[in-house]
Amino acid sequence: MAKIIVITGVSRGLGRAMTEGFIQLGHTVLGCARSMATVENLNQTYGSPHNFTALSVVDEAQVKTWAKRLLAEYGSPDLLINNAGIVNQLAPLWQIPSEDFSELIDINIKGVANVLRHFLPMMISKGSGVIVNLSSGWGRSTSPQVSSYCASKWAIEGMTRSLAQELPKGMAAIPLNPGIIHTDMLEICYGEDAASYTPIKAWAAKAIPFLLQLSPADNGMPLTVPI
């Protein structure tokens, strides 16, 4: 059965891979990204019933308008994936500029909360739907020079598992570690060594069916995509 799937951060990396994979399987994808050019390309490439919007998840007014429009047109999503996120340029905590730290926290934590705030009420009233908030191995462990990213993903773990305790039966909120995948973001952290990790296409081949089988039985479980 075809699902209605909302994904943030669809312009590249995992978000783009999930978008393309879900559409190939016949599901309807409603996505957002900051890049207007990418959004226009996605709309031209896939067209209706899929829908892509240029916005920043940090801007709650934009998120509210987006959610209101999608909920009115498509109804409550079956799967909501908070994927949008950034990583800091490698540096010790005290050398990360406050502006960079704040931007990361705004996108990686507050952006997720903004999306949930405006999609959850209808999902809860319907009593169904799975929420997946992308975490990281660095949401369950730590490494030097990625302190702000670790802070944001540890926050996602806690926020999501707390949310799971607030949802009615029939729903699920899951913090998901996608694994280590060769993306632009990984290149910031690992440089040339990033190329030795799982390619995005190989990841998507495993991740997409995994995401589609998530159910209320998984509520609150910190999961990892099996690679």
Burial zone of 21 (CB within 10 Å; 0-12 exposed, 13-18 middle, 19+ buried):
buried
What lies within 8 Å, CB to CB, of 126 at 6+ separation is 75, 76
| Catalytic site residue from 46, 74, 149, 190 | 149
Among 65, 29, 67, residue whose Cα is nearest residue 48: 29
Residues near 152 by beta carbon (within 8 Å), at least 6 away in sequence: 85, 104, 105, 108, 109
Nearest to 149 by CA among 85, 65, 213, 211: 85
> Please, is 226 exposed, middle or buried when counting C-beta atoms within 10 Å of its C-beta (0-12, 13-18, 19+)?
exposed
Q: Is 197 a catalytic residue?
A: no
Strands 171-177, 129-134: pairing kind: parallel
End-to-end CA distance of the chain: 25
Give the Å distances, CA to CA, from 37 to 41, 54, 82, 91.
Answer: 6, 9, 21, 31
CA distances from 147 to 100, 102, 160 (A): 12, 13, 20
* 79, two tokens: 């799967």
Q: What are the catalytic residues?
A: 149
